[in-house]
Structure 1
Amino acid sequence: MLAGIWAEPRPARPPVRVWRDWTLSSALVVISVVEMLLRDDRAWAPLLVGVSVVVAACLLYRRTRPLAAVTVAFGTVLAFDIARIAVIDASGLLGTAGLLVLPYALLRWGAGREVALGLAVILTWIPVTLVAEPTSPAEKAAGYGFFLFSAALGAAVRYRTRSHDRDIEQVRLRQRNELARELHDTVGHHVSAIAVQAQAGRALAAADPKRALATLVTIEEEASRTLREMRALVGALRDGTDAELAPRRGVVDIRRLTRPGGEVLGVRVQVSGDAEAVEPAVGTALYLIAAEAVTNATRHARGATGVTVGVTASHSRVHLRVHDDGEATTTSSPHAGYGLRGMAERANLLGGTLRAGPDPDGGWSVDASLPRTMRPS
């Protein structure tokens, strides 16, 4: 733990010096000069004002060079207090009260080793100044308390800011994962369909030109839909909003996955129960899971002749089953892994479950069970 604290880097992007910093430093110098002019004893006036000027100047560098500011300011006052004990008979000026700001800045903007070294300087100075300025035990406790409170406040603000930045980064990471899932499940599905249709069109080009032409029309429709959804994704990335990442789809759209067999793997869809009355988010998840499962079967099911998609709605849940009759295997393409992960994430986010793997009766099955209504977040 101590090694981690020692290696702690400085917080990024410290605030730049603004007019308020100059105003604070100037005010401390003016207060010191006015106080000196009002005193009867001005024997050590240049020294006293000089110490206040050094402290005020160090405040200007408290964010960008916190250790240097603490070392110079407290080192100057430490030397002054040692001189007070040994030679000088004079008390400090009110302008040195700016020292209270430096422990805060040290803990807020310093690196781990800078904090440790700076605190050592401060804790060395405090007992010396209490000897130079005799005080009661209560005043000594208050003196320590002021500076330790300033340091604790800086540490608290630093921790709170870091926690806030970490939360923002988590939100950004979650958004990137959502965008990646949307890209894979929507655009990736359409691109896979285009590739499959193109393969079928090439096979039919010589034997049945009319069916080949119909395949080209299907490819054009899929490409146009893909372009629209890609634009929606790019718009969400550019605007940074929580707008819909893709057009909303539902259970009714699952029927559009139906296609006859032949050159392309056939897909048969059956919907039973009141499945279309589920919440829009659940319907969208069902469609995207079904589309991804069909795409995986088309691309990876060896020896398959057809895919069956079944949607069954009960009183509280909706069940989806996608089954192909290909060769059952526990291995799959690495590209399919992203799809399986995305399907599982969609089901879990809505409080559902998903299982994908070889079916005991042969082939490969994807079984998802989702609540009809979204669980409260």
Structure 2
Amino acid sequence: MHGLLRSVWDEPRPPGAPRRVWRDWALVGLLTLAIVLEGILRTDLLWRPLSIVYPLVMLPTLLWRRTSPLACFAVPVVTTGLIQHLTGADPAEMHSMAYMVIMLYALSRWGSGREMALGLGLITAAVTTSTLTGQIATIPGQLAASDVIGAFTVVFAAFALGGVFRYRARARARELDQVKLLEREQLARDLHDTVAHHVSAMAIRAQAGIATAATHPDAAVDALRVIEAEASRTLAEMRAMVRVLRRDRAPGGGEMPELAPNPHIADLEQLAGRPKVGPAVEVLIDGDLDGVPPSVGAAVYRIAQESVTNARRHARHATRVEVRVSADDASVRLRVSDDGDSTATRPAPAHGYGLLGMIERADLLGGTCEAGPNPGRGWTVTAVLPRTPKHDVSPRTA
């Protein structure tokens, strides 16, 4: 119990309390009109001048109810109590003073734990004092139990409502933080998949250029051109990732268009070809691929891209890499195999983020991904993804 009270006492103010906006000024204007009309139209006011002037003087404190909730609440409560004690007059006899309930709500919604405890104690003392002196009696001089219950009901209802919205906002903030973490995890995988692919290609071209520079200068120049192109693409994708993380907006306030890379199965043709150094890549696509969700298409491309990169990097004596995609009504299947030396050591899935990322992508979509040596020669990566993914983890919807 002591720990619970200590945690409530040490509760900080919620972040992001909004300052004055036009709605606050409109509220003050409407309440001003209501106070003046009530003061003119009511005939049962005992202290008419005081009952009109006092609410108008206290009303502007509403404008600071979010940034200084305890002070804005304590000033009218303490001032009302002092006037009642010193003069016997009731400056809060008009119904328009009900705007104090808004301040009580704001204290519970935006105040710290200490401020909430002090404010609750202050209003409880004020209501208790008014009960004992008969200030809250519906019929003067005749205090009923319903008056006491009604006063405390209003107080605790307003306080509870503020607490509900306070912790609801906190839960929402936690959900948003979780979404941001998941998005950054997704972007980290994309960053590795796209940039690592280009960097690996640059490293291979650089090695080829060094090996052929002495005997074939033209080949070295061609390697430098490829490295330049790959570096440009890598830089463009890095900038796109940074813009996504910073949540930049286009000029005029619009959303930035298509910042995160989102390839599809059709883009696998870009992996095909016979480079001057390394195995040739052949891409075969068959089956009905219409209607494949973007998340599944992106995952198939990324897994294939990473598998081809690994084959070029680690498949010794490989001459060919085959990328085959097939689909039926239930799933999309990807098979990437090479004819390299299967006895050569290759990284296990637990080592490095590349293979781990492939397995994680497939698992997030409700599929599977396996990698291992072939019975005879070579290495194969197989992925099976459902056409209806379990979770949509595409960059645009993460």
**Over aligned residue pairs, what C-alpha RMSD do you find?**
4.0
Separation (CA, whole Å) in 2 of partners of 1:250 and 1:332: 26
1:70 matched residue in structure 2? 73
Question: Which segment is superposed worse, 169-178 or 271-280?
Answer: 271-280
Alignment of 1:75-114 (within 5 A): 75-81=78-84, 83=85, 88=88, 92-94=92-94, 95-114=96-115
Alignment of 1:110-189 (within 5 A): 110-133=111-134, 134=137, 135-189=143-197
1:305 matched residue in structure 2? 317
Separation (CA, whole Å) in 2 of partners of 1:92 and 1:216: 83
1:110 Cα offset (Å):
0.6
Alignment of 1:309-324 (within 5 A): 309-311=322-324, 313=326, 315=328, 316-317=330-331, 318-322=333-337
Q: Is residue 23 from structure 1 mapped to residue 36 from structure 2 by the alignment?
A: no
Give the direction of change, closer, same or farther, for the CA distance of 1:19–1:329 in structure 2 (3 Å limit). closer
Separation (CA, whole Å) in 2 of partners of 1:199 and 1:293: 20
Q: Is the 8 A contact 1:107 1:155 kept in 2?
A: yes
Q: Is the 8 A contact 2:311 2:321 kept in 1?
A: no
**Letter of the aligned partner of 1:152 in structure 2?**
A
Give the direction of change, closer, same or farther, for the CA distance of 1:201–1:91 in structure 2 (3 Å limit). closer
Give the direction of change, closer, same or farther, for the CA distance of 1:271–1:165 in structure 2 (3 Å limit). same
- 1:205-244 deviation digits (Å, cap 9, x = unpaired): 1223344344344435434544554565566553354736
Separation (CA, whole Å) in 1 of partners of 2:355 and 2:349: 13
1:96 Cα offset (Å):
3.4
2:396 matched residue in structure 1? none
1:291 matched residue in structure 2? 305
Give the direction of change, closer, same or farther, for the CA distance of 1:73–1:24 in structure 2 (3 Å limit). farther
1:204 Cα offset (Å):
1.0
**Matched position secondary structure for 1:313:** strand
1:363 Cα offset (Å):
8.2
1:346 matched residue in structure 2? 361
- In the superposition, the TM-score normalised over structure 2's length comes to 0.73
In structure 2, runs of 5+ residues without a counterpart are 138-142, 250-254, 393-398
Q: Is the 8 A contact 1:28 1:96 kept in 2?
A: no
Give the direction of change, closer, same or farther, for the CA distance of 1:39–1:373 in structure 2 (3 Å limit). closer
What is the number of residues matched between the two proteins? 364
Q: Is the 8 A contact 1:328 1:359 kept in 2?
A: no
Q: Is the 8 A contact 2:105 2:158 kept in 1?
A: yes
1:256 matched residue in structure 2? 271
1:274 matched residue in structure 2? 287
**Matched position secondary structure for 2:383:** strand
**Matched position secondary structure for 2:105:** helix
Separation (CA, whole Å) in 1 of partners of 2:371 and 2:126: 68
In structure 1, runs of 5+ residues without a counterpart are none
Q: Is the 8 A contact 2:12 2:113 kept in 1?
A: yes
1:8 Cα offset (Å):
2.3
Question: Which segment is superposed worse, 251-260 or 61-70?
Answer: 251-260
1:54 Cα offset (Å):
6.1
1:107 Cα offset (Å):
1.0
Question: Which segment is superposed worse, 108-117 or 267-276?
Answer: 267-276
**Matched position secondary structure for 1:238:** coil
Q: Is the 8 A contact 1:204 1:212 kept in 2?
A: yes
Quote the sequence identity (%). Answer: 35
**Matched position secondary structure for 2:64:** coil
1:90 Cα offset (Å):
5.8
Instruction: Looking at secondary structure, tell me which structure has more helix per residue.
Output: 1
**Matched position secondary structure for 1:368:** strand
Separation (CA, whole Å) in 2 of partners of 1:39 and 1:373: 71
**Matched position secondary structure for 2:158:** helix
**Letter of the aligned partner of 1:304 in structure 2?**
R
**Matched position secondary structure for 2:304:** helix
Separation (CA, whole Å) in 1 of partners of 2:389 and 2:150: 56
Q: Is residue 245 from structure 1 mapped to residue 255 from structure 2 by the alignment?
A: no
